[in-house]
Structure 1
């Protein structure tokens, strides 16, 4: 370990120790979208930075219920990997006294990157963009439903209602205080549509940082919920037949300090490259659902007229379109991917969107006509996005772009997990699917 890394590790240990930290959770997110963890005592953090922490590659083929499958290139009891914490993101957990959290990258025993590491995939896509002079600002919206342990709601307040804020004002205050104590900049927090549902938005940052932050936000909300005797679910379907939890991705591409989604001479201020980027994402959306709406339960949420983005279309400020263009001043313009949900691995979702958008720029793609209003009631509705994980998996399997960008090892592991989950829930009712996944996310 070089002297600079040694110094960084020692400084980090001293700072965390001064905050009362005794252990550090090293986190990653698997292909089923589940946050997994190994933890070390604070006194061992420098060793973890130097040598990594051992973990099995079988986690790449874990399913949502903790059973496992196998892929053509990964699976089984053999092999070992090393987890290396990213100390730049190490932070004391405000809702879990004595604990800190850091996202981890995964490497092989020989020190080379693990080809199925999702966080490094996202970083590779960012690096590819930067090689062409592009940078991004990104953020995820985080939606969750809070319930008592007996399954009842702690509030009967209406959707978006001040009543709901009153019922849970202490809880939401503590969520805000915990997030801000962890240096996360909260843009807004509010009641959402479903019973007991809330949403928090964090300020935009670089794509890998945005994925890190959404993992941290969810862990913080869980911790605060536990302190208040509540449970938090980020699952795409919490009650079958009701509105589920989205994880909408907001993204804007930039070149030389200029937002490519604003100030251009195209529709709604789009620049040529900005339009091409959106067109690339739109073209790849059916396959991208395997990354952004990855569970069988995701398709209980992805239905028309629920602001879920169920149609394969785009539109200006259209909350029913899968791609919602948000126009505004230079820094505010961005695209919202509406069809993604809380079962997604945020690193896979954001990396896949960047890969698709870069391909659109490379090919000079243009957008089709936009859709205004609810597509379900259009005279000639646009096509639906895949209505089941099986259909999305078919599009994904045929995507040469995602196969190339993800790499064969990660591509095949994702495919195997999705197929196994299709089989896991075959013949199950929406109520059974929801019950099996509600508290997994």
Structure 2
């Protein structure tokens, strides 16, 4: 990747770039960007490569997805400007937008990292793990619907059931185009199948280091929506679009690795998740226990929309109870087993969806897991059945909790979680909570149909 002005200029000229999008993801999980024309970018490169960027109103981090207005109580307002600085190692051509490139941006003020920046929050949590000699690897596993817009009606693009090969044939063109565009941007596509809902899809990509995993998810969402649009379709990651059909999760897969020691190459990293006899190692148990302990508050970050809680219901494979289990798809934390590899290799956090800012969701999960490691938090026994099938007395005896059933419950839990609030930092925590409260207030009493129309093009 370009590392100074001359190589970047050559890279841009070779690819005939005319616009460079500098992209960020805000607290409402909208992917936003400002595009620099090549002439303006060239002038900046000649002046100072390290100070390239675009100006941005500080209040942009306090905007809700419901309306482009500043959320009350966010701590931000009309006064204040930050600088959105390109992270040049993330620059990529956009295969679906000829002549345009994208680069991830980080927010800076007075030459210093700005505490409201979500990407820098994740960077801090990655460093917190590194300070313990650990590397966190991750991948987001999004589900999305392909839809047709007929006047004011939104309909699934097909009516096929789970994994139907007919659905593969119906959507062969758009799915191939999405996969090719993802591959062209460096994402390793691993698996595709039609999901449970009509028109619902899942295309999984390979895990990578945490910061790159969140970047990958931004690339993924942008690419899926853009390519679908070019095929006359609407792609949506909204958690719950249709009452009678499956919701869309965005499960977060996590693993803890031993960091590189002095003089070690990345190949020296080792996955620390597997323990003896196909179980979790001691460090993986503590990491999992930390996630479970902080999960109610974490959900205000990972499932942060009122719409999220229409999906998070018992018997829906969405993780409505605060339990973990081996291969248990009703558990909030599933530990997948492997037949052909050391097992287990990672955790799957199911209480994540398409309303979540990936930098905040992953950073919050890391903070929770690291707290478990720091305290050697004991891991409860696994639950190897649907916890919703147990009686209330059985769940009480086994300390099985129903997770927050509404956004206001999750917000209250986060407000009382000192570890997560400290990790976010007061400015980011205050603004994130204000944005989500504004969304909660604006969507109060909405029908599912109204929510779907409102959120359809947001995420």
TM-score by length of 2: 0.91
| SS of residue matched to 1:200 | strand
CA distance in 1, matches of 2:190, 2:343: 14
CA distance in 1, matches of 2:343, 2:137: 9
Aligned to 2:266: none
Aligned to 2:381: 369
What is the CA distance between 1:99 and its match in structure 2? 1.2
Aligned to 1:55: 56
CA distance in 1, matches of 2:367, 2:41: 34
Select the residue among 421, 428, 436 that pairs with 1:410.
Answer: 428
| SS of residue matched to 1:243 | coil
Select the residue among 310, 320, 324 that pairs with 1:314.
Answer: 324
1:182 aligns with 2:185: yes
**C-alpha offsets along residues 232-258 of structure 1, whole Å, 9 cap, x if unaligned?**
111112223432211111010012533
| SS of residue matched to 1:59 | helix
1:338 aligns with 2:356: no
Aligned to 1:124: 124
Aligned to 2:229: 226
More displaced 10-residue stretch of structure 1: 407-416 or 304-313: 304-313
**C-alpha offsets along residues 312-367 of structure 1, whole Å, 9 cap, x if unaligned?**
11111111110011233348610001010001000000000000111100000111
| SS of residue matched to 1:237 | coil
| SS of residue matched to 1:253 | strand
CA distance in 1, matches of 2:364, 2:378: 19
Give yes or no for contact 1:157–1:167 (8 Å, CA) kept in 2: no
1:327 aligns with 2:332: no
Give yes or no for contact 1:237–1:438 (8 Å, CA) kept in 2: no
More displaced 10-residue stretch of structure 1: 44-53 or 391-400: 44-53
What does 1:396-435 correspond to in 2, within 5 Å? Answer: 396-435=414-453
What does 1:267-286 correspond to in 2, within 5 Å? Answer: 268-286=278-296
Change (3 A) 1:76 1:18: same
Give yes or no for contact 1:154–1:167 (8 Å, CA) kept in 2: no
Give yes or no for contact 1:299–1:388 (8 Å, CA) kept in 2: yes
CA distance in 1, matches of 2:101, 2:202: 24
What does 1:227-306 correspond to in 2, within 5 Å? Answer: 227-256=230-259, 257-262=269-274, 264-265=275-276, 268-306=278-316
What is the CA distance between 1:226 and its match in structure 2? 1.5
Structure 1 regions of 5+ residues with no counterpart? Answer: none
| SS of residue matched to 1:20 | coil
**C-alpha offsets along residues 235-291 of structure 1, whole Å, 9 cap, x if unaligned?**
1122234322111110100125332210x24x7421111100110011000000111
Give yes or no for contact 2:138–2:254 (8 Å, CA) kept in 1: yes
1:26 aligns with 2:8: no
1:210 aligns with 2:222: no
| SS of residue matched to 1:307 | coil
Give yes or no for contact 1:27–1:103 (8 Å, CA) kept in 2: yes
More displaced 10-residue stretch of structure 1: 121-130 or 321-330: 321-330
CA distance in 2, matches of 1:153, 1:425: 24
Give yes or no for contact 2:122–2:362 (8 Å, CA) kept in 1: yes
RMSD (Å) for aligned C-alpha atoms: 1.8
Aligned to 1:146: 146
| SS of residue matched to 1:179 | helix
**C-alpha offsets along residues 398-422 of structure 1, whole Å, 9 cap, x if unaligned?**
0100111110000101111111111
| SS of residue matched to 2:322 | strand
Aligned to 1:355: 367
| SS of residue matched to 2:102 | strand
CA distance in 2, matches of 1:69, 1:260: 43
Give yes or no for contact 1:13–1:42 (8 Å, CA) kept in 2: no
Give yes or no for contact 1:16–1:91 (8 Å, CA) kept in 2: no
What is the CA distance between 1:28 and its match in structure 2? 0.7
Give yes or no for contact 1:54–1:81 (8 Å, CA) kept in 2: yes
Aligned to 2:454: 436
**C-alpha offsets along residues 207-246 of structure 1, whole Å, 9 cap, x if unaligned?**
1100000100111111211211111111112223432211
What is the CA distance between 1:71 and its match in structure 2? 5.6
| SS of residue matched to 1:148 | strand
Query: How many matched pairs?
Result: 434
Give yes or no for contact 1:85–1:105 (8 Å, CA) kept in 2: yes
What is the CA distance between 1:70 and its match in structure 2? 4.0
1:74 aligns with 2:70: no
TM-score by length of 1: 0.94
| SS of residue matched to 2:215 | helix
CA distance in 2, matches of 1:11, 1:44: 17
What is the CA distance between 1:51 and its match in structure 2? 3.8
Structure 2 regions of 5+ residues with no counterpart? Answer: 260-268
More displaced 10-residue stretch of structure 1: 427-436 or 381-390: 427-436
CA distance in 1, matches of 2:445, 2:74: 29
CA distance in 1, matches of 2:375, 2:68: 41
